[in-house]
Structure 1
Amino acid sequence: MFLGKVIGSVWATQKETGMENLKLMMVQPIDTKECESGQVVIAADRIGAGVGERVIVSRGTPARILFGQGNAPIDAVIVGIVDSFEVAE
């Protein structure tokens, strides 16, 4: 999993089977100081995250399992909206 910030949405009228009615968001990975820390990821979103929100993203097989279809072409999913976090110095 990683921490990220939603920076945009992706609209696609044609999608593979298993992705129908699925909201896709662009997420910028961030570090604990909220600085960019990797390439932007397109993540499925079923919990209603919005642009500007910090989120927790799960990747790989765990993301696909959440949708109950072993063959769904999903590599990343937003699993939480972060209210706050604390890091010991």
Structure 2
Amino acid sequence: MPISLSAKKSLRKSNRNNKVNVSFKIRMKKILKDFVAKPTKDGLDKVYSIVDKAVKNKIYTKNKATRVKASYSKKIEKIVKKPVKKAAAKTSKKMS
């Protein structure tokens, strides 16, 4: 147990921050899990938003956030493949 006043305050602060961080991490894991279960473009926006908030709250580093975003964007790319455009057939002009 902390003895000095500053140590007691530090313990209270640490406990308060721990509760906030744990609740945020639970919310973040739920959003990520929902996205993995059913990947959608809207879900990807939510993933980006929650990961950016994690960086803002110093739960993730910028590099970790970038890796997470890249990982989840690859998952959506597999499902939503871009249609390949066919080249328009060229019409030849008749020369007279």
Structure with the higher fraction of residues in helix conformation: 2
> Under a length normalisation based on structure 1, what TM-score does the superposition of the two structures give?
0.24
Bigger Rg, which one: 2
Structure with the higher fraction of residues in strand conformation: 1
Higher relative contact order (CA 8 A, sep 6+): 1
